[in-house]
Amino acid sequence: MNSLNQPLHYDPASFKDPSGRIFYHEGKVFRSLTSVGLKKVEAALALLESGQLENFAHGGVIESSLLDLPTGKVLEHRLLSNITYPYEWTPSQLHEAACFTVELQLRLLKLGFTLKDASPFNIAFEKGKAVFMDLPSIEPDEEVQGWVGLRDFFEYFLYPLLIAKYLGLHHFRFWMASLGRVKLTEAGKLLSRAPFWSASIFKYVRLPLLLARLTTILNLDRIESKLKVPAPIVESNLEAIMTTLRSLVPKAEHSFWSRYASECHYSDSARIEKHAFLESELSRMTLNGAKFNLGLDIGANTGEYSELLSRFASSVISIESDSDSADQIYKMARAKSFDVHPIVSDFTALTPALGWAGLERKSFLQRWQGKIDMTLALAVIHHLRIDANVPLAMILDQLGELSHHLIIEWVGMEDPKCKQLLRGRDPSIYQDYDYPQFINLLRDRFDIHQSCTLSNGRVLISATKKATNRKS
């Protein structure tokens, strides 16, 4: 650790926390600490080491330790493999993170501590379980005036979950515009036509709106409350919120895409052929049991092939634009403890950089471009070319920028699904979309290893990016 005495390069996204800043060194993650941050961390670490922050139903707290350096103490966290953002989460992930936040706060209150905020960005997912990462957010609760993070919790968690239940509008559809927050007034407008008899909406939306208006009318907002709220009342309110959360468990929507795997035109024989080719090629590329570090499944649907890829990769990113399908991937990862990370996103509109000066939240490409060992692009190329109107050459360029190895599925113009996409479109627009041109473009960028024509006419191809195209 002597090299830590050298100048530190802080993560540019870590500038808001007054307790300290995140930096990376030799594949590990650390947090420098201010004097105030050190006191908080020492108290939180004492809780961790005592075992009192274990055995949660909905998640856990990141393993951390203090290191003594000549320049002062720094906090080392266990490095998580991949960080996804709340606006990329599935509905069940948001719900799980909400339940864990309340569960953690309840535990802390009983121990004389509290969460100073309730940001979902303090939570990551690992093997389907929520992991709380921001240890300095745990601080002694010296004067209980209610939970200071309650408004955060409502705006980041409760309002989006209520909107999802009563409007069917999931959080990722609007979160990127505000980095997650749904204000009370916005929730009130969106839920204005929700059932009047909903106790949850009355208690957490309509009544607070009414009280806010009365406060403004009577100029009560100028009065600073010093009333101390007894801890049992705070705990009772949190228990009531947890009860509300149990009524907001996302329900499966049974969308077209979540049924696609069972209703598509793949025959049993073609499905068996596809599995056999994928397993054979993934095994060949990971000889001697050396797994890929990171795999990517584009258009992952319900995760059938993400699950297969996870046998050959330490971690898998699964991109799926249909939230119900992505939710099934999350539930699979949680149930089987696989390190599979679903991202609700369209591959043609990957997550951009967001926040102050585009620094707070990294884009999808900033996080993973060039770091992916194996990409599965199965039954997506016709959607990218015909639906999204992206030229073949640009599709293959992007795949080459993302990953070293590739297994791609060719879906020709004669395929029934391709014909469906072409309805009402001029086929002459897609003159580059034919197999010989596809193969030539692929060979320009990749070394082709194996191919397999399935009984339904589709073609699977395994390839590795040409050495001349690799960035050092």
Gap between the Cα atoms of 116 and 271, Å rounded:
51
14: confidence class by pLDDT, cuts 50, 70, 90: confident
Q: Which of 57-61, 319-323, 394-398, 465-469 has the lowest mean pLDDT?
A: 465-469
| pLDDT (0 to 100) of residue 470 | 56
Classify residue 354 by its DSSP letter: B
pLDDT at 13: 83
- Residues with Cβ within 8 Å of 35's Cβ and at least 6 positions away in sequence, in order, are none
* pLDDT at residue number 124: 96
Look-up of token digits 């969106």: 190
Number of other residues whose CB lies within 10 A of the CB of residue 442: 20
Tell me what pLDDT residue 258 has.
52
Residue 264 reports pLDDT greater than 80: no
What is the C-alpha separation between 120 and 153, in angstroms, rounded? Answer: 8
Secondary structure element (H or E) that encloses residue 153, with its range: helix 150-153
Which positions ≥6 away from 29 have C-beta within 8 Å?
22, 23, 76, 77, 79
In sequence order, what are the residues at sequence separation of 6 or more whose Cβ sits closer than 8 angstroms to the Cβ of residue 121? 85, 86, 180, 361
Give percent above pLDDT 90 in the chain.
66
pLDDT, tens only, 68-117: 877 788 999 999 989 999 999 999 999 999 999 999 999 999 998 999 99
Exposed, middle or buried, 175 (CB in 10 Å: 0-12/13-18/19+)? buried
Distance of alpha carbon 303 from alpha carbon 328, whole angstroms: 7
Q: Whole-prediction pTM value? A: 0.91
Q: Report how far residue 29's alpha carbon sits from residue 77's, in angstroms, rounded to the nearest whole number.
A: 6
Predicted confidence (pLDDT) at residue 197 exceeds the cutoff of 90: no
**Weakest mean pLDDT among 132-141, 173-182, 254-263, 335-344:** 254-263
Q: In the prediction, which pLDDT does 144 show?
A: 60
Length of the chain: 472
Tokens 């390069």 found at: 9
CA distances from residue 187 to 118, 131, 164, 191 in whole angstroms, order as listed = 18, 28, 11, 6
Answer whether 81's CB lies under 8 Å from 127's CB.
no
**What band does 229 get if pLDDT is binned at 50, 70 and 90?**
confident
pLDDT by residue (tens digit) across 396-435?
999 999 999 999 999 999 999 999 999 989 888 998 899 9
